[in-house]
Amino acid sequence: MDVQPELGVEVLQDLNFGTVISNSGTHQIELANPQMGIFKIRALAAQSAILTLQRPDRLTQSGGQDTTNTIPLNLDAAYSHQASNYQDLLPFGNDMLQVTLSDDENPNNNKEQVWDTGYVYIFGNIEVGDISPGSYSGTLVLNVVYQ
């Protein structure tokens, strides 16, 4: 017998702005960019859930004690029932979204399917000012609550 949790959230890809230069201004990662962040949610088919984000408003220098070295961060998020489907997205409003996990593209399959998946895409921009060299990071938290 296999016992599996009712819900699984996996980070498929971290949001990555790459290497930037001090005082280089705005750097944007748009939806469908290969560097956007991607979460995969696995849950019981036809299960309703509330997705909430706790997102940072800035990136801070890793290991640094200097709080003046920060990069302002503006993030957006959207949900899709299918991977790489950027046409039928549900955008987050006020860092929250209520969804029903199901594959709307193939409804006949859902009748037999016990598990389903959904995807949350994270994208946005940073404003790089006069900062010290180093690595900068922040933590975004995705909470998923069944209804």
pLDDT tens, position by position, 22-51: 999 999 999 999 999 999 998 888 888 999
pLDDT tens, position by position, 96-146: 999 998 755 555 544 566 888 999 999 999 999 999 999 999 999 999 988
Cα dihedral 28/54/71/35 (nearest 10): -30
pLDDT tens, position by position, 54-105: 999 999 998 766 677 899 999 999 999 988 888 889 999 999 999 998 755 5
